[in-house]
């Protein structure tokens, strides 16, 4: 049997990681400025993370949600404290797509409605509901096309108002920063307007912070730069630093009933131990501050390079950064990888995307800038 061939692969196989670097079997070192799609939040093989996960799997790796699990309670309490959402509840699942799927269900349960408003170029995952609110026909099978979804342009509050005034919308779902679209940052003013209009029309506001959350922008969640509080917040990726875990932060206005949501693996003991270790490191090592400071440094260095005409349209917040290059970005990324041993990401034909671990340093950014100048 072969693997189902759906991925375009680079001819590099990391077998070991340490901090901001990964290594192949022949010990070749690669600087990781992408973290496997923003998943590696505290660096590869962080000692505290390794110890916590190893200790937990040696005791109890899994039992179902039919029994008490104090790790879930500890995780909810710590996440609430660090994020500023102590009054919210936490539903745990396994991935960002699953988190968004459950948030959409909660919104529909809560309002009794089924229409959803999403934004052009959005990406929310590959499960049925998440695909339906993702603006990409290439990943929508006929099965995904029965959902009632309106798409409007990011930043167009008048278009949002027009849709919501019809009175049949359950939820608006929006990314804190559009990642797959190429790092598109909604303005703080638009986010505040969106919160006001959804509240006025009794529509649930879902903030997809799967990629933009967990400290990546220098605040715990990207939407906190605009000072709003959504009804539902979805998380995953950096939550487990490589262990699959996701969740939905649920505002106090939502009431749980037994059986309305469920999952076999969500909130398992090993996943919770991994997520708790991530929060420990973020807190103990002040990684939100580091993301803000090193992110500002990275954006400044890139804008200096932009002024020379080497790159263009530098954008982002904290350590969620995108910029465009002339020609095919996949070619540029491959050169960065194979010639300079640096992992980066892409988004569209011309965009290079940076999503490093939150403990990245200015030295790592300088290494990247020097490589970028040679393209």
pTM exceeds 0.75, yes or no:
yes
Q: Average pLDDT over the chain, rounded to whole?
A: 97
Q: Of all residues in the chain, what percent carry a pLDDT higher than 90?
A: 96
204 and 248 Cβ atoms separated by less than 8 Å: no
Q: Which run of H or E residues covers position 197?
A: helix 188-200
Render the burial of 56-80: b for 16+ CB within 10 Å, e for the rest. beeeeeeeeeeeebebbeebbebbb
∠ Cα 254 255 258 (to 5°): 135
Q: Is beta strand 169-175 parallel, antiparallel or unpaired with respect to 115-119?
A: parallel
Question: What is the distance between the alpha carbons of residues 298 and 338, in angstroms, rounded to a whole number?
Answer: 22
Question: What is the distance between the alpha carbons of residues 351 and 182, in angstroms, rounded to a whole number?
Answer: 6
Q: Nearest Cα to 219, choosing from 131, 287, 267, 121?
A: 287
Mean pLDDT for 192-197 is 98
Q: Nearest Cα to 14, choosing from 26, 1, 3?
A: 26
Q: How confident is the model at residue 375 (pLDDT cuts 50, 70, 90)?
A: confident
What pLDDT score was predicted for residue 301? Answer: 98
218: pLDDT strictly greater than 90? yes
297: pLDDT strictly greater than 80? yes
Q: Nearest Cα to 110, choosing from 174, 205, 195?
A: 205
What pLDDT score was predicted for residue 145? Answer: 76
Mean pLDDT for 284-300 is 98
Question: What is the distance between the alpha carbons of residues 133 and 125, in angstroms, rounded to a whole number?
Answer: 9
Tokens of 123: 């990406």
147: pLDDT strictly greater than 90? no
Mean pLDDT for 88-108 is 98
Q: Nearest Cα to 99, choosing from 271, 277, 316?
A: 271
182: pLDDT strictly greater than 90? yes
140: pLDDT strictly greater than 90? no
309: pLDDT strictly greater than 80? yes
- The residue whose two tokens read 């990629």 is 211
132: pLDDT strictly greater than 90? yes
Question: What is the distance between the alpha carbons of residues 215 and 41, in angstroms, rounded to a whole number?
Answer: 8
Give 72-96 pLDDT, tens digit per residue: 999 999 999 999 999 999 999 999 9
């Amino acid at each position: 049997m072969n693997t189902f061939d759906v991925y375009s692969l680079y001819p590099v196989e990391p077998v070991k990681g340490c901090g901001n670097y990964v290594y192949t079997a022949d010990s070749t070192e690669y600087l990781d400025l992408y973290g496997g799609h923003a998943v590696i939040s505290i660096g590869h093989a962080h000692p505290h993370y390794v110890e916590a996960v190893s200790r937990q799997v040696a005791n109890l790796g899994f039992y179902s949600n039919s029994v008490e699990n104090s790790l879930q309670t500890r995780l909810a309490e710590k996440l609430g404290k660090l994020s500023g959402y102590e009054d919210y509840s936490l539903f745990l699942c396994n991935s960002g797509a699953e988190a968004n799927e459950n948030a959409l269900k909660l919104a529909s349960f809560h309002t009794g409605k089924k229409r959803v408003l999403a934004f052009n170029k959005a990406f929310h995952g590959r499960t049925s509901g998440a695909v339906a609110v993702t603006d990409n026909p290439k990943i929508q099978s006929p099965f995904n096309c029965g959902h009632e979804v309106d798409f409007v342009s990011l930043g167009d509050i008048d278009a949002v108002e027009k849709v919501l005034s019809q009175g049949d919308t359950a939820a608006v779902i929006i990314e804190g920063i559009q990642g797959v679209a190429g790092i598109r940052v909604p303005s703080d003013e638009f986010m505040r307007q969106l919160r006001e209009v959804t509240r006025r029309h009794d529509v649930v506001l879902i903030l997809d912070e799967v990629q933009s959350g967990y400290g990546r922008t220098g605040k715990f969640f990207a939407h906190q730069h605009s000072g709003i509080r959504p009804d539902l917040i979805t998380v995953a990726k950096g939550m487990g630093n490589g262990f699959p875990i996701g969740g939905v932060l649920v505002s106090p206005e939502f009431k749980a009933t037994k059986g309305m949501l469920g999952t076999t693996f969500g909130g398992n003991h090993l996943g919770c131990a991994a997520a708790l270790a991530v929060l420990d490191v973020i807190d103990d090592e002040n990684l939100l501050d580091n993301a803000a400071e090193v992110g500002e440094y990275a954006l400044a260095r890139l804008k200096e390079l932009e002024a020379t005409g080497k790159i263009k349209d530098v954008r982002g917040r904290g350590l969620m950064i995108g910029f465009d290059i002339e020609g095919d970005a996949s070619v540029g990324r491959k050169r960065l990888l194979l010639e300079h041993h640096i992992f980066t990401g892409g988004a569209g034909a011309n965009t290079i995307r940076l999503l490093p671990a939150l403990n990245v340093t200015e030295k790592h950014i300088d290494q990247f800038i020097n490589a970028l100048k040679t393209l």
